[in-house]
């Protein structure tokens, strides 16, 4: 079934990778070819590929069996914003310029009728700007952090929290043998979803998240209470972006040129040091799985979500619902305008764990400490 107007579509993956991107690429390619008879190309390295007109043809054999592979067969870049792009200044230096028109011309040259962008805040901001230039754009949200208000869930979150759960499970057995306190750092940027879900699923008795500031003293009391109760070991799930009650956070690196330059890393190590300095009878250690929770095979549930997001993106092209992002609301695949999604991001509106919400209350009911009391 096709509306006859669209003949060729392009897709690209931009920003950091996320479990499920390949599964979405596969779905879009198969649906576009089978259901709508479109030709499909994929720009490589995100928007840089669009600028350089560097693409591959996406055919069924190229996407065969990539439904569970992490990463992106189209590669990705989290730096190349064509509306503010670093180019040679003609004097041996570099200067930032708006080169979006090159991208638009390249699409025209290749006969691309619509562009699907698989990206987070930064990449979808460019998608919105291309849409404002008259390009037929559909966004497919990509964040394993689960922090996008417009959608109930995106592919990637379940995979990341499943791997995080495995880490917590494994740390529990060894923490128990040595009566240690083990802190496990989990990604998620400024939202605590991954640490909260992995911590709860893995039975971490203490969970630190950005939404609930903590003190070392409260964690110490929790560990001592466990000692007294006959559980002389504790596993702490630490969201990388969590903060001390005095506002202290730990930044691992600043990546200049990135739309979101702050990279958190090192909080679990600091919590371990600070706790060990005040607690008796326990060695306190930390691990930081970092990008491991982003790689490897993806969770079966995310494979299904990827099918739903990809099929909806193709339907939206057929129905010419351009300038929108595919979203999931309750049981329904639907869409939200790029303007609204980017407006939320611009005004710092993210989906956060509710500190007094049902899940945190449930966790507290079973004795989980968040370091706030």
Active site residues: 145
Among residues 294, 303, 312, 351, which is the contact residue for ligand F6P, using CB under 6 A? Answer: 294
Interaction between residue 311 and ligand F6P (CB under 6 A) = no
Interaction between residue 188 and ligand F6P (CB under 6 A) = yes
Interaction between residue 189 and ligand F6P (CB under 6 A) = yes
Cβ nearer to ligand F6P, comparing 39 with 145: 145
190, 210 contact by CB (below 8 A): yes
Interaction between residue 155 and ligand F6P (CB under 6 A) = no
Among residues 78, 165, 234, 324, which is the contact residue for ligand F6P, using CB under 6 A? Answer: 78
CA distance 139 to 119: 7
Residue 201 CA to chain centroid, in angstroms? 20
- Strand duo 332-337 + 324-329: pairing: antiparallel
Residue 170 CA to chain centroid, in angstroms? 24
Site string for ligand F6P, 260-279 (x = CB under 6 A): ---xx---------------
Q: Two tokens at 193? A: 């979803």
Q: What angle do CA 178, 182, 185 make, to 5 degrees?
A: 160
Among residues 104, 144, 181, 237, which is the contact residue for ligand F6P, using CB under 6 A? Answer: 144
CB of 140 to ligand F6P, least distance (A): 15
CB within 8 Å of 26: residues ≥ 6 apart: 63, 66, 67, 306, 310
Decide: helix, strand or coil at residue 365.
helix
Interaction between residue 234 and ligand F6P (CB under 6 A) = no
Rounded to whole angstroms, what are the CA distances from 366 to 125, 249, 270, 360? 41, 27, 27, 10
Cβ nearer to ligand F6P, comparing 76 with 234: 76
CB of 303 to ligand F6P, least distance (A): 19
CB of 192 to ligand F6P, least distance (A): 11
Residues 18-37 that bind ligand F6P (CB under 6 A): none
Cβ nearer to ligand F6P, comparing 250 with 363: 250
Cβ nearer to ligand F6P, comparing 189 with 226: 189
Q: What is the DSSP string of 262-298?
A: EEE--HHHHHHHHHHHH-SS--EEEE--GGGGGSSSP
Cβ nearer to ligand F6P, comparing 41 with 187: 187
Burial of 266 (0-12, 13-18, 19+ CB in 10 A): middle
> Which stretches of the chain bind ligand F6P, using CB under 6 A?
16, 78, 143-145, 187-189, 240, 263-264, 294
């Amino acid at each position: 079934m096709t509306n006859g107007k669209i003949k060729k579509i392009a897709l690209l993956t931009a920003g950091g990778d996320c479990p499920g991107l390949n599964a979405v690429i596969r779905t879009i390619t198969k649906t576009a070819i089978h259901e709508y008879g479109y030709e499909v190309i994929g720009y490589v390295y995100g928007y840089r590929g669009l600028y350089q007109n560097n693409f591959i043809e996406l055919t069924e054999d190229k996407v065969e069996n990539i439904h569970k592979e992490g990463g992106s067969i189209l590669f990705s870049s989290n730096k190349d914003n064509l509306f503010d792009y670093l180019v040679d200044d003609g004097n041996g230096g570099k200067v930032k310029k708006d080169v979006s028109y090159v991208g638009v011309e390249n699409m025209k040259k290749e006969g691309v009728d619509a562009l699907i962008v698989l990206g987070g805040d930064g990449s979808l901001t460019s998608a919105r700007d291309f849409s404002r230039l008259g390009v037929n754009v559909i966004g497919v949200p990509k964040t394993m952090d689960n922090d996008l208000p417009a959608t109930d869930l995106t592919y990637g979150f379940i995979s990341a929290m499943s791997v995080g759960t495995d880490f917590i499970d494994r740390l529990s057995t060894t923490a128990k043998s040595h009566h240690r306190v083990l802190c496990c750092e989990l990604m998620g940027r400024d939202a605590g979803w991954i640490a909260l879900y992995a911590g709860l699923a893995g039975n971490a008795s203490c969970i630190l998240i950005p939404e609930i500031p903590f003190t070392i003293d409260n964690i110490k009391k929790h560990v001592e209470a466990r000692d007294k109760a006959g559980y002389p070991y504790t596993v702490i799930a630490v969201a990388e972006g969590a903060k001390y009650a005095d506002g202290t956070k730990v930044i691992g690196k600043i990546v200049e040129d990135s739309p979101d330059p702050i990279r958190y890393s090192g909080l679990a190590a600091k919590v371990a040091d600070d706790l060990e300095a005040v607690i008796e009878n326990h060695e306190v250690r930390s691990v930081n799985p970092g990008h491991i929770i982003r790689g490897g095979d993806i969770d079966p549930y995310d494979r299904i979500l990827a099918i739903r997001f990809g099929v909806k993106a193709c339907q939206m092209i057929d129905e010419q619902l351009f300038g929108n992002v595919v979203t999931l609301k309750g049981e329904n695949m639907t869409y939200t305008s790029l303007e609204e999604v980017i407006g939320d991001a611009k005004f710092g509106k993210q989906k956060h764990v509710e500190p007094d919400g049902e899940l945190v209350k449930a966790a507290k009911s079973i004795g989980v400490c968040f370091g706030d009391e």
